[in-house]
């Protein structure tokens, strides 16, 4: 993507994000998306996590938004799923 196609501000999942931030950091600014989940989303979509978010294409942005809206579409790593199960058990045992 050329410099002329760079976007200074992107809107993803209702959040305005500066185009100068790395994608992995920028996605973690969205409520409910942490660093690990943003890394998993980017890996499943084959997007370079070190790229600046302002250089994303429209298709990549729409793919990321689709993955955020429906996380079951992305392929999670086993470690993340195990972590969620452990957290569920901890939360239910406390209550």
Tens-of-pLDDT digits for all 95 residues of the chain? Answer: 556 688 899 999 889 999 999 999 999 999 888 888 898 889 888 999 899 999 999 999 999 999 888 877 776 654 555 555 544 444 433 44
Look at residue 18 in the predicted model and tell me its pLDDT. Answer: 92
41-50 contact pairs (CB < 8 A, 24+): 41/67, 41/68, 41/74, 43/77, 44/74, 44/75, 44/76, 45/74, 47/23, 48/23, 49/22, 49/23, 49/24, 50/22, 50/23, 50/24
What is residue 75's predicted lDDT score, i.e. its pLDDT?
67
The domain ranges of the chain are 3-94
Topology, domain 3-94:
Helicase, Ruva Protein; domain 3 (1.10.8)
Residue 19 Cα distances to 9, 31, 56, angstroms: 5, 18, 9
pTM above 0.75, yes or no: no
């Amino acid at each position: 993507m050329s410099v002329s196609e760079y976007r200074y501000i992107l809107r993803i999942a209702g959040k305005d994000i500066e185009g100068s931030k790395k994608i992995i950091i920028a996605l973690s600014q969205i409520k409910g998306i942490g660093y690990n989940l943003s890394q998993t989303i980017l890996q499943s979509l084959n997007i370079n996590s070190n790229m600046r978010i302002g250089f994303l294409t429209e298709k990549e942005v729409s793919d990321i938004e689709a993955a955020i809206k429906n996380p079951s579409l992305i392929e999670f790593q086993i470690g993340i799923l195990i972590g969620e199960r452990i957290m569920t058990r901890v939360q239910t045992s406390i209550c």
